[in-house]
Amino acid sequence: MKNKSIIAVLSLLLLAGYFFALRYQLKSPNKVLTAIKAHFNHVEAAFIDYTPENYKKLGLETMIYRGGITTADGEFEFIADAYSGELLDTTEITTAWL
Report if residue 17 sits inside a domain: no
Report if residue 10 sits inside a domain: no
pLDDT tens, position by position, 18-76: 877 777 788 999 999 999 999 888 999 999 999 999 999 888 888 999 999 999 888 99
* pTM for the model: 0.74
How far is the C-alpha of 83 from the C-alpha of 63, rounded, in Å? Answer: 7
Single-letter residue type at 9: V
Report if residue 36 sits inside a domain: yes
Q: Which domain holds residue 44?
A: 26-93
Task: Say which CATH number the domain at 41 has.
Answer: 3.10.450
pLDDT at residue number 13 = 86
